[in-house]
Amino acid sequence: MTAAIRIAPTRAARALNLLRTVQYAHPPSCPCHSNPSHQHHHPSLLPSTLKHARRLATPVDVSQQKEYAFEMAASSIRFGPGCTKEVGMDFRNMGAKKVMVVTDKTVRKLDAMKQVVEGLEREGIPFEVFDGVRVEPKDTSVREAIDVAKPYQPDAFLAVGGGSVIDTAKLMNLYTCFPDADFLDFVNAPLGKGNPITKPLKPLIAVPTTAGTGSETTGTAIFDLVSKRAKTGIAHRNLKPTLGICDPLNTRTMPSAVHASSGLDVLCHSLESWTAIPYHERVPRPNNPINRPAYQGANPISDIFSLQSLRSTVQYLPRAVKDPDDHEAQSQMLLAATLAGVGFGNAGVHLCHGMSYPISGQNPGYKHAGYEVDSPIIPHGVSVAVTAPAVFRFTGASNPERHLAAAECFGVDVSQVKRESAGEVLSEALAEFLVKLGDQPRGLKYLGFTKDHVDALVEGTIPQKRVLMLAPSLESTDVEAEREQLRSLFEEALEY
Amino acid sequence: MTAAIRIAPTRAARALNLLRTVQYAHPPSCPCHSNPSHQHHHPSLLPSTLKHARRLATPVDVSQQKEYAFEMAASSIRFGPGCTKEVGMDFRNMGAKKVMVVTDKTVRKLDAMKQVVEGLEREGIPFEVFDGVRVEPKDTSVREAIDVAKPYQPDAFLAVGGGSVIDTAKLMNLYTCFPDADFLDFVNAPLGKGNPITKPLKPLIAVPTTAGTGSETTGTAIFDLVSKRAKTGIAHRNLKPTLGICDPLNTRTMPSAVHASSGLDVLCHSLESWTAIPYHERVPRPNNPINRPAYQGANPISDIFSLQSLRSTVQYLPRAVKDPDDHEAQSQMLLAATLAGVGFGNAGVHLCHGMSYPISGQNPGYKHAGYEVDSPIIPHGVSVAVTAPAVFRFTGASNPERHLAAAECFGVDVSQVKRESAGEVLSEALAEFLVKLGDQPRGLKYLGFTKDHVDALVEGTIPQKRVLMLAPSLESTDVEAEREQLRSLFEEALEY
């Protein structure tokens, strides 16, 4: 056995045992109970006929029926240094005749785009490049992009860039396939109508140039809805790319500060999906599988991805940030970002992400070190991680075993830790990790927020129903109580 | 922390560390070295210009170029007790107008089919049932099935049954979409032409009624090629189902002996894919991504699935076999079978499976206990597991760390075990597991094979190139040496 194997004798064992024990502590509710005409017999779930009879007599409130199934979907993933150049052959293989290449003005100059263009030209695939994607897209910029795609009528899309680029390409694909749809039709409720995407879209290949969003594997696209002054998005399995091409050569161009903040996004994707409410606690049960959300709560398959990406991130992110030549760590972070994408793409995120949107949107003027931009910016990864110590202290009581397992991933010996301290212990481990990573704001205060901003931050979080519904420990039925909890979370997050 | 968490303090930790260390011990070969015109710079992989210059001067033997990327593809998976009944809505959602339902005469009478038929009728989806699938399909029976599908011209397929049913449905789909193809066009080389499947097929939903093959997630279909007297198949990502509906209520009908043998298939899928050669040792590198095989060798994503399914199988298979009312164990085995399917579907299997095909095909007359059939039968899972103790003793030296990690999954304390003993230790753990499971033949002898059968078994294994190429420790360039190794493996497998 190698030295590496002796370092962490108990952490993963406990975590993996959790995969097998925690998830099934509460068996999924039985679908038959809600459907008296169902003929299936399974005696172990029907302890008494009395119980059944009582249910038959009481009208069922379908809005309170819990979920009984989960669905796992992910883009195909190709991973390898140099595999970007294969993309021309991929489009030839699918018979594409008009490819819309989506990128931004920074990525357009990078080697990833050079490889892509050479690959397409080598195979004689006609294409057009749209490089107008803006970082942290707004519905207005997305609509402009859609207006470019519609007249071109592409039969396939290729996104080359970070999460903003990939998300914009997904939306260009969606609204080109549904040209008559109103923009709000598919936008997450309650801001939009939240309609499901009822047919497959055109093929989309995503080539990430950051190791963060995991957008190359998910059916999620995030943007600012300017009219509502809120960050929201569209989430449906049919939005996911056909293939994610994860080429570690493409993330070498990231500056250290971008390695850090995109890696913190991975960290929170892992932690939030691992600690989200289990899928069988989510209400309501969908009346049609097409309405089963992608963000469905933790489940036994997403758990595997979330835990593995958490462990990889703790191990490799500090190396990737500190040494621009540590290509092994960078490669591992790209893989971790993709694994986390599969995890949260099928389980969801919760408080860190829900609270991050108003944090970024209501930025009092903070400009993150290492970002060469003209205007203030709180990078997405920074805005999710800044509340993480407060969030996981708060959620600890909901599932102490999972919070302790997460703390072990950070190297904490939890063998003597009481269950009641699980949240506190994970919170401290997280804070220590963030401090050691360097250049991270130690709370909202360091971004320029004060107690006076808290009410506005709370009001900006309340509409994030899609992620808040997966938050453990959060009041889901009483909005005033929820508001109070969020207020105290933001206050706690002012400094760690 | 719960008691369960304390039981296995070191196993998974080491295994998970392996996920991070073993795979990258040999960094993938650099694609740029084979392409001198490639402009990409990555200094760490170019230690000397001399080396580069030498490569430029020597003509490259492309058949010996190693792989540098891997690709992960899997069907979407829906998992939950009772979710079979959603299938009618799935077909309505995709706008299907003519569904070919594929099953066999046993499954047709089961509740799974009842749920499916009710679901389709409720949604008003026209369908036709083909129940003529035979267990362990032959090309002849597959051709008959295809001849039923072609005139019906279905726009979608639904498979309800075990691996034989799902595999047959895949082939019906393939040859209905390529009506002019010769049957051998897509069959694995060298028995067939091994052509890639160049376009997407019709949607196929698979509803497994056994917890074994994992066929609901893979692009593989296996059958006997009668003319060549060999088991072979077709393997390509485009063959994989659109969706696998894994409903634990559907596997409750399996007799105990079927739980056991299908579970042993899961065990070997896990162990073989975990120990297969790493993807970056496979030759040749494909010249087009469409030619990258599904069985591409162990990789960092398949590893996660293979190890998790191995651990689940060791924990839950004995319970599922012993107690027909242990629905939790049955449910976990269905999940393990699916996870193993994702693992081996993207990494491959090797010796146990390669050797199993002649074992089943050349059965001297063995009839497995608990199988109510008229003719002799060696169930697939039995035929793969019977050689496993010999196989993993043989492969141990190829990667001692992985074999020790696997042994730990069986509960062995390997902290004092020498690397040289890794194969032996795993072999013993496996043998003990099989003996305790009960009703398993303790070697080929117990199936009626003798030393005199070994030559024929070897000759039946040699054509299984697709899996043998992934076998660690096996001579790949000298067929006589390979023959000798297989001969001694079969002799070792006569009794454990």
Q: Is residue B2 part of a domain?
A: no
Per DSSP, the residues of B80-115 read -TTGGGGHHHHHHHTT-S-EEEE--TTGGGSHHHHH
Task: Say if residues A470 and A295 touch (Cβ distance below 8 Å).
Answer: yes
Using CA coordinates, name the residue in chain A closest to B96: A199
How crowded is the C-beta side of B33, counted as CA atoms within 13 Å? 25
pLDDT of residue A59: 59
Q: Is the peptide bond before A324 cis (omega within 30 degrees of 0)?
A: no
Q: Is residue B267 part of a domain?
A: yes
- Tell me whether residues A73 and B76 touch, CB distance under 8 A: yes
Task: Say if residues A420 and A400 touch (Cβ distance below 8 Å).
Answer: yes
CATH classification at residue B203: 3.40.50.1970
How crowded is the C-beta side of B170, counted as CA atoms within 13 Å? 35
A306 touching B, CB under 8 A?
A: no
B317 touching A, CB under 8 A?
A: no
Of B458, B468, B378, B390, nearest in space to B424 by CA:
B390
pLDDT of residue B63: 78
| Same domain flag for A229 and A272 | no
Tell me which residues of chain B, numbers 39 to 98, contact chain A at a CB-CB cutoff of 8 Å. Answer: 39-40, 42-44, 67-74, 76-83, 85-86, 89-90, 93-95
Using CA coordinates, name the residue in chain A closest to B279: A80
Among B77, B299, B414, beta carbon nearest to A72: B77
Q: Is residue B321 part of a domain?
A: yes
What are B449's two structure tokens?
A: 């094979």
Using CA coordinates, name the residue in chain B closest to A84: B69
A246 touching B, CB under 8 A?
A: no
Query: At A433, which helix (H) or strand (E)?
Result: helix A422-437
Among A1, A81, A93, beta carbon nearest to B290: A93
Q: Is residue B327 part of a domain?
A: yes
| Same domain flag for A322 and A181 | no
Q: Is residue A33 part of a domain?
A: no
| Same domain flag for A484 and A415 | yes
pLDDT of residue A475: 87
Average pLDDT over residues B85-109: 97
Among B13, B72, B327, beta carbon nearest to A10: B13
Dist. CA A332–CA A308, nearest whole Å: 11
| Same domain flag for A414 and A278 | yes
Per DSSP, the residues of A296-357 read --B-HHHHHHHHHHHHHHHHHHHHHHH-TT-HHHHHHHHHHHHHHHHHHHHH---HHHHHHH
Q: Is residue B378 part of a domain?
A: yes
- Using pLDDT thresholds of 50, 70 and 90, give the confidence band for residue B475: confident
A296 interaction partners in chain B (CB closer than 8 Å): none
pLDDT digits (tens, 9 = 90+) for A362-392: 999 999 999 888 889 999 999 999 999 999 9
B179 touching A, CB under 8 A?
A: no
Dist. CA B496–CA B489, nearest whole Å: 12
Average pLDDT over residues B24-49: 38
Q: At what angle do helices B300-322 and A11-21 cross, to 10 degrees?
A: 50
- Tell me whether residues B17 and A12 touch, CB distance under 8 A: yes
pLDDT digits (tens, 9 = 90+) for B276-303: 999 999 999 999 999 999 999 999 999 9
Using CA coordinates, name the residue in chain A closest to B112: A40
A37 touching B, CB under 8 A?
A: no
pLDDT of residue B458: 97
pLDDT of residue B364: 96
Q: Is residue A237 part of a domain?
A: yes
β-strand partners of A225: A230
What are A230's two structure tokens?
A: 């809120």
| Same domain flag for A309 and A206 | no
Using CA coordinates, name the residue in chain A closest to B40: A111
Of B249, B192, B222, nearest in space to B360 by CA:
B222
Q: Report the gap between the CA of B77 and the closest CA in chain A (Å).
A: 5
Of A105, A104, A107, nearest in space to A84 by CA:
A107
Dist. CA B19–CA A385, nearest whole Å: 26
Of A63, A65, A2, nearest in space to A35 by CA:
A65
CATH classification at residue A448: 1.20.1090.10
Task: Say if residues B424 and B396 touch (Cβ distance below 8 Å).
Answer: yes
Among B1, B19, B69, beta carbon nearest to A80: B69
- Tell me whether residues B12 and A9 touch, CB distance under 8 A: no
pLDDT of residue B485: 97
**Given the DSSP bridges, would you call strands B243-246 and B76-79 parallel, antiparallel or unpaired?**
parallel
Distances (CA, A) of B378 to A492, A494, B264: 64, 67, 13
pLDDT digits (tens, 9 = 90+) for B312-366: 999 999 999 999 899 999 999 999 999 999 999 999 999 999 999 999 989 999 9
Task: Say if residues A85 and B286 touch (Cβ distance below 8 Å).
Answer: no
Which of A35, A79, A251, A287 to substitute to test the interface with B, most B CBs within 10 Å?
A: A79
| Same domain flag for B305 and B192 | no
Query: At A112, which helix (H) or strand (E)?
Result: helix A111-122
Predicted confidence (pLDDT) at residue B54 exceeds the cutoff of 50: no
How many residues appear in chain B? 496
Of A329, A244, A85, A79, nearest in space to B32 by CA:
A85
pLDDT digits (tens, 9 = 90+) for B366-413: 999 998 888 899 999 999 999 999 999 999 999 999 999 999 999 999
Dist. CA A48–CA A56, nearest whole Å: 13
Which residues make Cβ contacts (< 8 Å) with residue A429, sequence separation at least 6?
A407, A410, A411, A412
| Same domain flag for B234 and B318 | no
Dist. CA A314–CA A161, nearest whole Å: 24
Specify the number of domains making up chain A: 2
A198 interaction partners in chain B (CB closer than 8 Å): 93
Of B237, B240, B234, B171, nearest in space to B206 by CA:
B240
pLDDT digits (tens, 9 = 90+) for B441-474: 999 999 999 999 999 999 999 988 888 999 998 9
Angle of CA points B19, B21, B23, to nearest 5°: 70
pLDDT of residue A56: 46
Count interface pairs A-B at CB distance under 8 A: 234
A18 touching B, CB under 8 A?
A: yes
Q: At what angle do helices B139-152 and B163-177 cross, to 10 degrees?
A: 50
Dist. CA B58–CA B79, nearest whole Å: 53
Average pLDDT over residues B419-429: 98
Query: At A230, which helix (H) or strand (E)?
Result: strand A230-235
Average pLDDT over residues B177-194: 94
β-strand partners of A204: A157
A32 touching B, CB under 8 A?
A: yes
Last residue in a domain, options A192, A213, A246: A246
Q: At what angle do helices A256-275 and A327-347 cross, to 10 degrees?
A: 30
| Same domain flag for A216 and A303 | no
Q: Is residue A70 part of a domain?
A: no
pLDDT of residue A476: 77
Task: Say if residues B66 and B280 touch (Cβ distance below 8 Å).
Answer: yes
- Tell me whether residues B83 and A31 touch, CB distance under 8 A: yes
| Same domain flag for A146 and A225 | yes
How many residues appear in chain A? 496
pLDDT digits (tens, 9 = 90+) for B229-262: 788 899 999 999 999 999 999 999 899 999 999 9
Give the domain extent around B163. Answer: 82-246
**Given the DSSP bridges, would you call strands B220-225 and B243-246 parallel, antiparallel or unpaired?**
unpaired
Last residue in a domain, options A246, A273, A302: A246
Last residue in a domain, options B246, B277, B305: B246
pLDDT of residue A34: 39
Q: Look at the block and give the residue holding tokens 């004995």.
A: B318
From the number of C-beta atoms within 10 Å of its C-beta (0-12, 13-18, 19+), residue A48 rates as: exposed
| Same domain flag for A319 and A446 | yes
Report, as ranges of residue numbers, the positions in chain A whose pLDDT lies below 50: 1-10, 12, 15-16, 20-57
pLDDT of residue A6: 35
Which residues make Cβ contacts (< 8 Å) with residue B390, sequence separation at least 6?
B427, B489, B492, B493, B496
Read off the pTM: 0.89
Q: Is the peptide bond before B31 cis (omega within 30 degrees of 0)?
A: no
**Given the DSSP bridges, would you call strands B230-235 and B220-225 parallel, antiparallel or unpaired?**
antiparallel
Which of A17, A331, A408, A414 to substitute to test the interface with B, most B CBs within 10 Å?
A: A17
Dist. CA A222–CA B20, nearest whole Å: 31
Task: Say if residues B401 and B477 touch (Cβ distance below 8 Å).
Answer: no
pLDDT of residue B60: 64
| Same domain flag for B220 and B94 | yes
Dist. CA B405–CA B21, nearest whole Å: 12
pLDDT above 70 coverage of chain B, percent: 88
What are A101's two structure tokens?
A: 């290449």
Q: Report the gap between the CA of A360 and the closest CA in chain B (Å).
A: 33
Q: Look at the block and give the residue holding tokens 């299984």.
A: B464
What are A347's two structure tokens?
A: 């389980």
Query: At B204, which helix (H) or strand (E)?
Result: strand B204-208
Among B12, B20, B78, beta carbon nearest to A16: B12
Dist. CA A161–CA A129, nearest whole Å: 13
B456 touching A, CB under 8 A?
A: no
Tell me which residues of chain A, numbers 335 to 394, contact chain B at a CB-CB cutoff of 8 Å. Answer: 335, 339
Angle of CA points B262, A41, B317, to nearest 5°: 25
pLDDT of residue B463: 87
What are A51's two structure tokens?
A: 């119980």
| Same domain flag for B323 and B376 | yes
Average pLDDT over residues B48-60: 44
A414 interaction partners in chain B (CB closer than 8 Å): 1
Of A27, A237, A276, A294, nearest in space to B81 by CA:
A27
